[in-house]
């Protein structure tokens, strides 16, 4: 991301000796009337900050007086604020476009105000292409300027691996075209040589009819082969795209997946790849046949009688023009139909998942009304679209086929004048009809292609995402000992909104760290970083003194044991769920793990024991039961690093007590990070970490923190009071 | 004295905190004073306390932008000091000051005219007129960039997370509505 724009106004700044320009970034909202502007810049030199508007310096600040400069996020934008003599000063405002840039500015100014001279740099991508202004993908690639050839080349790339099969299909298609075109020729001959000819005989007629029969049968056979090959091709391409897409989805960051509705990603894997299949099968495979026949058809017609051919063509341009005119309308109409359909299904999903709430609040009638309205809207638009199509299609047909009347009139006159044989006229008329038929077919192409393009766009959106966490080539396989160190670690899900700032923490091997703090303070984020679901923005994270990013990701993950608050069980048996992380575990090991997790008893009581089917279509387990299976899963793995995020929060007191004891054994000698709201859960922790206001507010043993009488002390007191009140 | 919607009498150490949490304190123009600070922000003086910098937030930004404005203490993690029930009922001076701050904290240009929308490579490029002037922006067609606040009201979020509002789609020309249809 650019932090030093080269503008004349910045060069013209009256800098003193020894003062040099550090940064120059644009702001795009006027300070007076909050309107868009294009000539506002903030220039930062080693000593001063200048607010520029055009070539004029509007405000100047002295950096040595600026304390604690911040880029505050506002609704839809942001502002740069600094404290001078204890008073907070507004410096400049900007739209959301420049939030990140100004977050860097604030950092840069703070560094300078502390007397340091290093320059901050940003490795983030711009959102717009500096050359053409188009939106860049997350990987910072301009779809146009990077010239990957756009969607056409993407499509070529997609089908190239199947080129051999496509050659075969093309040959079949050529055969189909030849056979199709030969038929009218024979029919014309039959009329001229048998019906109208003096020496027409039954024998000759049979010969022609036999020929026509074979051609007819030939078309059927060729079409069957063609359909078979095309279906195979379409299915295979779709399967391969689906595989790559799924693979990519798995490698993408949690953030990308979190940013989207689950249904949306499913749709891309299932529906959009299905669209590609449909296109390959129905459109692409007929494309060559149609183009070949169309070309030959035109050539034949021109060769037979060019004047008549011209007459036949007259109406076609109108038809095509008409169709193209309606292309946008068609797209808009079907898009809206698709949207309404989507609304109906998401509303349905909402109501079904929220059934209990709807029922307990007695809102069935209202929900019914809402659904009826949506269904009504959908039915209206689909009816309107069908009607439109029903009207539009014959109309095009009519306009397109108008030329046939001229052909018949002109050709008929020629036949009467005996300048043309009736067989030839028949042949010509058949070719003309064929031509219209194929033009007609081609007019539906825009619709098919639009469908393909939007599916490919959606697939590309996924494929072009950058994998945020990727192993370096020289990443190592490291067996974790259990020492963890955060050094000046900062992180934000959005770079302008830090969630954790300057985290410094050194954890010894085998230590248990309890993490407490108010919701939203960044506890889970800290753990997400430790699990390497996200990469830290600034600072470093070491495992046994090795930077985490130098350790192979899959190898690292295979040594983590994680129990989260919400446990997900995969469709399958309890056995396969416990074995998830260690598929080759023996029955004894599984039972042992289940016993340690206090799960063995309830599993045994299930009708199918460890083979009980759970998951979406299986047995429903309670939250506590699921949790215990998750704990068994973690125990079985014998992890080197254990992470517990509210692991026992959803359990009843008795199971919690039992599991606490089980966990004690599990955490023995293992580095453990445990988040808990109930402080009693953390009584075994060697040290407690209080996270508040984006950073480590307090750290120490239970006794130390209580003695400090800070946040932890207040939390303990509040919980004791709650217990006392509950007991009273 | 400021009105209190909820009142609860209870004993206990943290009761004060509970009361603070569940009570909405309505700010009375006669009892509080907003003053513009040297730095361009707003400070507040109540009977009990002086707040060096307060932040104003709309509780119902779309349905009732000028009523129920939460006034928060910027220097204490944006803790709520009180709520202005109706801005129009405040003195002209206060209204002016609050509006100025709201303008500073909120930037959601309202689209008044759509010159063109072009879609390409999965992004749609808008060229529009807003109440903050003419502008161009791009949205991702794959993500949910257009949210429907009501049947006729849209909130569009562009690639940079700027937000644009269409107050009433039906007030746009038919041609403009057609352009928008692809995103509705």
pLDDT of residue B19: 78
Do you know the residue count of chain A? Answer: 728
Span A395-421, average pLDDT: 86
pLDDT at A21: 92
**Mean pLDDT calculated for residue range A77-99:** 93
Is the pLDDT reported for residue B5 higher than 50? no
Task: Let me know if the fold of A474-559+644-651+671-728 is the same as that of A565-638.
Answer: yes
Q: Which secondary structure element, helix H or strand E, spans residue A123, and what is its range?
A: none
**Which of A17-26, A125-134, A506-515, B151-160 comes out lowest in average pLDDT?**
A125-134
| Mean pLDDT, residues A241-258 taken together | 81
Instruction: Supply the pLDDT for residue A617.
Output: 61
**Which of A183-192, A460-469, A567-576, B59-68 is most confident?**
B59-68
Mean pLDDT, rounded, for A111-127: 83
- Decide: A212 and A183 in contact? Cβ < 8 Å: yes
Condensed to tens digits (0 to 9), the pLDDT of residues A620-634 reads: 788 788 888 888 998
Residue A147, pLDDT > 60, answer no
Architecture category of domain A134-304+444-467 in CATH: Up-down Bundle (1.20)
User: What is A200-267 written as a DSSP string?
Assistant: --HHHHHHHHHHHHHHHHHHHHHHHHHHHHHHHHHHHHHHHHHHHHHHHHHHS-HHHHHTS-HHHHHH
CB contact under 8 A, A461 and B134: no
Instruction: For A474-559+644-651+671-728, give the CATH class.
Output: alpha beta
Do A721 and B135 lie within an 8 Å CB cutoff? Answer: no
Report whether A365 contacts A328 (CB < 8 A). no
Whether the pLDDT of residue B2 is over 50: the answer is: no
Q: What is the pLDDT of residue B95?
A: 94
**What is the longest distance spanned by two Cα atoms in chain B?**
65
Grade residue B14 by pLDDT with cuts at 50, 70 and 90: low
Evaluate whether B54 touches B71 at the Cβ level (below 8 Å): yes
pLDDT value at residue A278 = 85
- Kindly give, in sequence order, each residue whose CB lies less than 8 Å from that of residue B104, ignoring residues fewer than 6 positions away: A34, A74, A79, A90, A93
- Judged by CB atoms closer than 8 Å, whether chains meet at A259 and B143 is answered as yes
Condensed to tens digits (0 to 9), the pLDDT of residues A164-206 reads 888 898 888 888 888 888 888 888 888 888 877 777 788 888 8
Q: How far is B138 from chain A (nearest CA, A)?
A: 7
Domain ranges of chain A: 8-113, 134-304+444-467, 474-559+644-651+671-728, 565-638
Residue A508: the pLDDT is 92
Contact B2, B44 (CB under 8 A): no
Tell me, yes or no, if A718 comes closer than 8 A to chain B by beta carbon.
yes
Q: What number of other Cβ atoms are within 10 A of residue A566's Cβ?
A: 12
pLDDT of residue A728: 57
Q: Is the pTM here over 0.90, yes or no? A: no
At A588, the pLDDT band (50, 70, 90 cuts) reads very high
The C-alpha atoms of residue A289 and residue A287 are separated, in whole angstroms, by 6
Closest residue of chain A to B156, computed from CA coordinates: A76
The answer to whether the CB of A284 falls within 8 A of the CB of A170 is no
**Number of Cβ within a 10 Å radius of residue A200:** 16
Rg (CA), chain B: 21
Tell me the pLDDT band of A139, cut-offs 50, 70 and 90. low
CA A646 to chain CA centroid, nearest Å: 29
Q: Chain B within 8 Å of A88 (Cβ-Cβ)?
A: yes
Higher pLDDT, A725 or B13: A725
Tokens, residue A112: 């300078």
Whether the pLDDT of residue A570 is over 70: the answer is: yes
Q: How confident is the model at residue B10 (pLDDT cuts 50, 70, 90)?
A: very low
Task: Note the maximum CA span of chain A.
Answer: 122
CATH number of A8-113: 2.30.29.30
Query: Is residue B9 scored above 60 in pLDDT?
Result: no
Residue whose structure tokens are 């891309």: A268
Query: Per-residue pLDDT tens for A9-28?
Result: 888 888 888 899 999 999 99
Top-level CATH class of A565-638?
A: alpha beta
B129 touches chain A (CB under 8 A): no
Q: What is the mean pLDDT of residues A277-287?
A: 82
DSSP annotation of B75: T
Q: How many CB atoms lie within 10 A of CB A242?
A: 19
pLDDT digits (tens, 9 = 90+) for B151-162: 889 999 998 889
Q: What average pLDDT score do residues A671-682 get?
A: 86
* DSSP H/E element including A501: strand A500-507
For chain A, give percent helix, strand, coil, nearest 5: 55, 15, 25
Higher local confidence (pLDDT), A577 or A679: A577
As beta bridge partners, residue A702 has none
Residue A272: the pLDDT is 83
Q: What would the pLDDT profile of A368-386 be if each residue is shown by its tens digit? A: 999 999 999 999 999 999 9
At a CB cut-off of 8 Å and minimum separation 6, what does A422 contact?
A191, A192, A196, A415
Mean pLDDT for all residues in chain B:
85
List b or e across A269-300, with b for residues whose CB sees 16 or more CB atoms inside 10 angstroms.
beebbbbbbbbbbbbbbbbbbbebbbebbbeb
Tokens (6 digits) for B132:
């903050």
Residue B58 has pLDDT above 50, yes or no: yes
Burial A124-139 (b: 16+ CB within 10 A, else e): eebbbbeeeebbbbbe
Average pLDDT over residues A308-328: 80
Contacts across the A-B interface (CB distance below 8 Å)? 120
Pick from B37, B107, B140: which is nearest to A29 by CB? B107
Per-residue pLDDT at B142:
66
């Amino acid at each position: 991301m650019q932090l030093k724009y080269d503008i004349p106004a910045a060069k013209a700044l009256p800098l003193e000796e020894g003062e040099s320009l550090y940064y120059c970034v644009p702001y795009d909202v006027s300070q007076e009337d909050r309107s868009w502007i294009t000539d506002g810049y903030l220039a930062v030199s080693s000593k001063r900050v200048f607010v520029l508007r055009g070539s004029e310096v509007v405000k100047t600040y002295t950096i040595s007086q600026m304390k604690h400069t911040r880029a505050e996020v506002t609704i839809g934008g942001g502002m740069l604020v600094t404290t001078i003599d204890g008073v907070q000063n507004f410096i400049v405002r900007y739209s959301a476009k420049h939030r990140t840039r100004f977050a860097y500015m604030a950092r840069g100014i703070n560094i300078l105000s502390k007397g340091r001279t290093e320059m901050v740099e940003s490795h983030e991508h711009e959102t717009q292409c500096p050359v053409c202004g188009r939106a860049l993908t997350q990987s910072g690639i301009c779809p146009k300027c990077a010239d990957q050839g756009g969607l056409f080349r993407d499509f070529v790339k997609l089908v190239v691996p199947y080129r051999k099969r496509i050659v075969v299909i093309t040959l079949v298609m050529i055969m189909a075209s030849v056979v199709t075109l030969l038929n009218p020729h024979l029919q014309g001959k039959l009329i001229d040589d048998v019906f109208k000819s003096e020496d027409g005989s039954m024998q000759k007629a049979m010969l022609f009819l036999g020929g026509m029969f074979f051609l007819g049968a030939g078309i059927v056979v060729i079409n069957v082969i063609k359909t078979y090959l095309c279906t195979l091709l379409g299915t295979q391409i779709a399967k391969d795209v689906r595989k790559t897409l799924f693979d990519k989805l798995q490698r993408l960051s949690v953030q990308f997946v979190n940013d989207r509705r689950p249904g949306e990603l499913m749709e891309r894997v299932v529906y959009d790849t299905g669209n590609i299949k449909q296109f390959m099968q129905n459109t692409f495979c007929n494309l060559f046949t149609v183009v070949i026949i169309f070309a030959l058809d035109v050539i034949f017609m021109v060769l037979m009688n060019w004047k008549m051919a011209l007459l036949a063509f007259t109406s076609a341009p109108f038809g095509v023009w008409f169709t193209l005119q309606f292309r946008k309308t068609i797209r808009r109409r079907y898009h809206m139909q698709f949207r309404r359909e989507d609304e109906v299904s998401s509303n349905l999903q909402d109501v079904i998942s929220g059934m209990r709430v709807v029922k307990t609040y007695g809102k069935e009638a209202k929900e019914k009304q809402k659904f009826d309205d949506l269904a009504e809207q959908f039915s209206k638009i689909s009816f309107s679209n069908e009607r439109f199509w029903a009207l539009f299609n014959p109309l095009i047909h009519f306009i397109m086929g108008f030329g046939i009347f001229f052909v018949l009139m002109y050709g008929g006159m020629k036949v009467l004048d005996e300048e043309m044989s009736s067989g030839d006229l028949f042949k010509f008329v058949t070719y003309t009809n064929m031509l219209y038929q194929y033009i007609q077919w081609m007019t539906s192409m825009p619709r098919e292609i639009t469908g393909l393009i939007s599916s490919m766009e959606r697939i590309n959106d996924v494929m072009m995402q950058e994998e945020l966490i990727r192993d370096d080539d020289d990443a190592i396989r490291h067996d974790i000992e259990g020492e963890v160190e955060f050094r000046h670690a900062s992180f934000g899900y959005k770079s302008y909104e830090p969630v954790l700032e300057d985290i410094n923490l050194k954890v010894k091997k085998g230590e248990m760290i309890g993490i407490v703090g108010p919701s939203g303070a960044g506890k889970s984020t800290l753990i997400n970083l430790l699990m390497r679901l996200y990469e830290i923005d600034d600072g470093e994270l070491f495992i046994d003194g090795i930077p985490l990013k130098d350790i192979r990701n899959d190898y690292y993950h295979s040594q983590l044991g994680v129990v989260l608050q919400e446990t997900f069980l995969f469709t399958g048996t309890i056995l396969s769920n416990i074995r998830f992380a260690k598929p080759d575990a023996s029955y004894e090991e599984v039972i042992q793990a289940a016993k340690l997790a206090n799960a063995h008893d309830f599993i045994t009581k299930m009708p199918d024991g460890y083979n009980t089917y759970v998951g979406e279509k299986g047995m429903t387990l309670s939250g506590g039961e699921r949790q215990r299976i998750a704990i068994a899963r973690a125990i079985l793995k014998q992890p080197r690093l254990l992470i517990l995020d509210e692991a026992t929060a959803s359990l009843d007191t008795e199971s919690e007590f039992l599991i606490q004891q089980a966990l004690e054994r599990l955490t023995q000698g293992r580095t453990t990070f445990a988040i808990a709201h109930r402080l009693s859960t953390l009584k075994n922790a060697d040290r407690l970490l209080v996270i508040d206001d984006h950073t480590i507010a307090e750290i120490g043993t239970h006794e130390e923190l209580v003695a400090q009488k800070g946040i932890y002390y207040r939390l303990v007191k509040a919980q004791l009071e709650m217990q006392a009140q509950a007991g009273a | 004295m400021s009105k209190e919607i909820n009142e609860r009498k209870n004993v206990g150490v943290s009761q004060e905190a509970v009361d603070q949490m569940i009570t909405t304190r309505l700010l009375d123009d006669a009892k509080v004073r907003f003053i513009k600070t040297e730095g361009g922000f707003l400070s507040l003086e109540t009977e009990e306390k002086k707040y060096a910098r307060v932040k104003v937030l709309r509780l119902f930004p779309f349905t009732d932008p000028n009523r129920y404005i939460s006034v928060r203490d910027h220097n204490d993690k944006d803790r709520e000091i009180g709520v202005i029930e109706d801005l129009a009922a405040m003195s002209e001076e206060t209204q002016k000051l609050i509006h100025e701050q709201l303008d500073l904290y909120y930037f959601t240009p309202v689209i008044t005219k759509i010159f063109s929308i072009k879609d390409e490579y999965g992004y749609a490029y808008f060229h529009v007129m807003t109440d903050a002037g003419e502008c161009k922006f791009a949205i991702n067609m794959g993500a949910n960039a257009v949210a429907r606040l009501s049947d006729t009201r849209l909130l569009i979020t562009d690639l940079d997370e700027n937000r644009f509002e269409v107050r009433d789609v039906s007030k746009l020309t038919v041609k403009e509505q057609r352009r928008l249809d692809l995103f509705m």
